[in-house]
Amino acid sequence: MTLSSVLSPAMGTLYVVATPIGNLDDISARALRILREVALIAAEDTRHSARLMQHFGINTPLAACHEHNEREQGSHFIARLQAGGDVALISDAGTPLISDPGYHLVRNARAAGVKVVPVPGPSALIAALSAAGLPSDRFIFEGFLPAKTAGRRARLEAVKEEPRTLIFYEAPHRILECLEDMQAVFGDERPALLARELTKTFETLKGLPLAELAAWVAADSNQQRGECVVLVAGWQAPEGEDALSVEAQRVLDLLLKEMPLKRAAALAAEITGVRKNLLYQAALERQKDA
């Protein structure tokens, strides 16, 4: 053993620990062991997590690590880790960093040479996807959409032709507005599913075309409560002779800005080789949605 190793103890480990999203029985035996053994738990909300620790009889000290202090207080956790203490990072529910705080702490810990170890467990988006009946081989997670309608619709427009299954989180007081905006952007018939209060007493998984799902939520105020995950089927390109390529749509949109509808459709047909009637119908749809 060298003098330097005596003066500089081995660094601790940062454990990223998933906790239950509702049903406390979902916590893993490994997670419980680590939460008991670490020197400190970095928690999104110490008051919320204190109840979880009390339930399982865990007495490890808690320190706040949330979106408002993570950048400033991160050095405190890094120093603790560099001094040889193990730290567990948890969020209020589910897997840390997934639409929750922790990114800056994990990034800085890795930059400082600290070992970061995931302790997997509950995740609302994966739980919802596993039971949705939508394609799960390829998907994208968009997190929370913007709170305002304009920003929300702009984000939805950006993924309108995304072929993978789309997954969103949404606050209960915005869930109806969110579904109505999805209906407006993706269309009435796009398959979707609302997963609400997963693993809790009033768990709901309802799959319907977007227009029907929005109407169902509007008709029942109980569906506008609790934690919400929304899954939307990916875009499927039209097949056969009714298909309109992205390039044809782009040409049509450019021409519609400069000339009347009928002339734009005719010229787009000459440029792209797509049937004029198909382009004319597409132009009418664009004019109706404008």
Residues 134 and 213 in one domain: yes
Residues 251 and 200 in one domain: no
* Tens digit of each residue's pLDDT (9 = 90 or more) over 13-68: 999 999 999 999 999 999 999 999 999 999 999 999 999 999 999 999 999 998 88
CATH number where 208 lies: 3.30.950.10
Residues 209 and 260 in one domain: no
182 is a domain residue: yes
Residues 187 and 133 in one domain: yes
Among 61-70, 122-131, 219-228, the minimum mean pLDDT is found in 61-70
Residues 108 and 129 in one domain: no
159 is a domain residue: yes
Domain count, the chain: 3
Task: Give the mean pLDDT of the chain.
Answer: 91
The residue out of 100, 122, 144 marking a domain boundary is: 122
Residue type, 247: E
Residues 34 and 100 in one domain: yes
Residues 70 and 130 in one domain: no
257 is a domain residue: yes
Residues 140 and 217 in one domain: yes
2 is a domain residue: no
Is 278 within 8 Å of 251 (Cβ atoms)?
no
How far, in Å, CA of 96 to CA of 82, rounded?
21
CATH number where 48 lies: 3.40.1010.10
> How many Cα atoms are found within 13 Å in the side-chain-facing hemisphere of 278?
17
3 is a domain residue: no
The residue out of 209, 232, 255 marking a domain boundary is: 232
For residue 263, what are the domain limits?
A: 240-289
Nearest to 88 by CA among 12, 29, 16: 16
Residues 169 and 266 in one domain: no
Residue 149 confidence class, pLDDT cut points 50, 70, 90 = very high
The residue out of 79, 96, 122 marking a domain boundary is: 122
136 is a domain residue: yes
44 is a domain residue: yes
Tell me the CA distances in angstroms from 219 to 54, 62, 215, 222, one per residue in order: 39, 42, 6, 9
Residues 116 and 33 in one domain: yes
1 is a domain residue: no
Residues 130 and 199 in one domain: yes
Using only the alpha carbons of the chain, give its radius of gyration.
25
* Tens digit of each residue's pLDDT (9 = 90 or more) over 236-290: 866 654 567 778 888 888 998 889 888 988 898 888 888 888 888 888 887 776 6
Q: What is residue 119's predicted lDDT score, i.e. its pLDDT?
A: 98
Q: Which residues contact 21 (CB under 8 A, 6 or more apart)?
A: 93, 94, 122, 123, 124, 127, 198, 199, 227
Residues 118 and 129 in one domain: no
